[in-house]
Structure 1
C-alpha cells in the first residue's frame, strides 16, 4: 500500500454557469449544463509518496464528465510538473490516477478513460487573491474569489462532505482556457473553486 500525503491548494474552473452544484450535492445533482468540463491545478506545499518528496511541485488536470459526477465515465488527463524527478513523476501519476488509493482513490472508480499523463512546465501563482495557472499550451487560467458583503472575507461553503476538502471558497474564472486532447474550451466568467487540500493514503490517520 502506498504511503502518501499532500498538503497545498487546489483551484478548479468548470463550465457551470453558476457555482458548481456538485459541492453541496456531492455529485448527485447534474452540472448546470448537464455535463461537466473542467480544468484544475494543484499546488503541493508539502507532500511525499513512499519516501519520495513531492514538496513544491504542481499538477494540472483536464476533466470531461458526461453527466452527474457521481455516475462515473470520466475522462481525465494529467500534467505533471517538469521539475519532478522520475520517482516523483511516477508517484504523482499513481496518486492522480487513483492507483495509490486514499483521498484520490475515487479516480480509479470514476475515471473510465485516463487520457494519459505528460510532463509540462506548470506555473501556479498567487497574485493577491487571484490564482493563476499556466500548464504549457494546454491550460491557461485565472480564478478569483467572488466578493461578499464583507470584502475582506471569502465567500465559502464550509463543513461539506466534498472529496476535495470540507471548505470550498466560491470563485469565478477571469480566464479559463483549455487546448488539449482535441478539446477547445473557454470558461471565462464561469464557476470556479479554491480549496485547501490535506489528502493522504488510505492507511494515514
Structure 2
C-alpha cells in the first residue's frame, strides 16, 4: 500500500540561462545546455507518520538540451538535520518513488551523480530567496522590479516545478556550485521562485 504524503513551502531555481529562461516554455536553453541549483524549503509536511516540517532539499542539475527532453544529470542534497526516517522519506519523494509531481520531475533524470547529506539553508525575504549547501555552494536571488514596484510574474508555463503557482522572475546575485562536474560560478543570470505544494499518491 502506498504511503500518503504532502509537503508545502517555498522553492527557488537559479540557472545559467541569460534573460528569461526559455526552458520553462519548452525551448532550448540560451547557452546550449542549462545547469541550475534548485532548492525547496518544507514549511509543513509529512510522509505517513514521519514529520518533514522545516527541512530543506536541494538539487544541482545539468540538462544537455531542452529541459523537457530529459537526460538530466543531478546531485541530490538531503538536509543533514533530517534523521534516518526523514531522509528516507525525502529520498522517496524527490526521487520520484512516492508519486505526485516529483515523480514527473524525476522521470527527466538520466543520471544521479550522487546523493549527499549536507547542511542546507533556505532563507526567504520579500525581495528574494537564498539557498546554501554546505559552506561553499549557494543560489542567492533577488526579484526583478516590475511596474509600480511590483514583482514580475509568469503564469501557466508548460514546464512547472511548482504547478498552480505564479513564478516570480528574479536574477541571481550569486550562483556557485563545484561538485561532480556541475560547475557554476556566476551572477546576473535567470532565477525564479514561488510557493510549492506536492502530494501523493
Q: Which TM-score band (shorter chain)?
A: over 0.9
- TM-score normalised according to structure 2 size: 0.92
Matches within 5 A, 1:20-31: 20-23=21-24, 25=25, 28-31=26-29
- The CA distance in 2 between the partners of 1:83 and 1:163, in whole Å, is 24
How much is the aligned-residue C-alpha RMSD, in angstroms?
1.5
Number of matched pairs = 198
**Aligned residue number for residue 34 of structure 1:** 32
- The CA distance in 1 between the partners of 2:105 and 2:145, in whole Å, is 32
Q: Deviations over 1:66-108 (max 9, x none)?
A: 0011111111111111111111101111111111121110233
**Is the 8 Å Cα contact of residues 146 and 155 (structure 1) preserved in structure 2?**
yes
- The CA distance in 1 between the partners of 2:129 and 2:161, in whole Å, is 21
- Structure 2 unaligned segments of length 5 or more: list them: none
**Aligned residue number for residue 71 of structure 2:** 73
What is the CA distance between 1:122 and its match in structure 2? 1.0
Matched, 1:150 2:145: no
- The CA distance in 1 between the partners of 2:86 and 2:121, in whole Å, is 18
SS in 2 for 1:150: helix
- Structure 1 unaligned segments of length 5 or more: list them: none
Matches within 5 A, 1:29-108: 29-108=27-106
- The CA distance in 2 between the partners of 1:134 and 1:97, in whole Å, is 21
What is the CA distance between 1:163 and its match in structure 2? 4.0
- TM-score normalised according to structure 1 size: 0.91
**Is the 8 Å Cα contact of residues 39 and 139 (structure 1) preserved in structure 2?**
no
**Aligned residue number for residue 186 of structure 2:** 187
SS in 2 for 1:91: helix
- The CA distance in 2 between the partners of 1:106 and 1:76, in whole Å, is 15
- The CA distance in 2 between the partners of 1:69 and 1:182, in whole Å, is 18
What is the CA distance between 1:42 and its match in structure 2? 0.7
- The CA distance in 2 between the partners of 1:93 and 1:142, in whole Å, is 25
Runs of 4+ with >6 A deviation: none
- The CA distance in 1 between the partners of 2:135 and 2:65, in whole Å, is 27
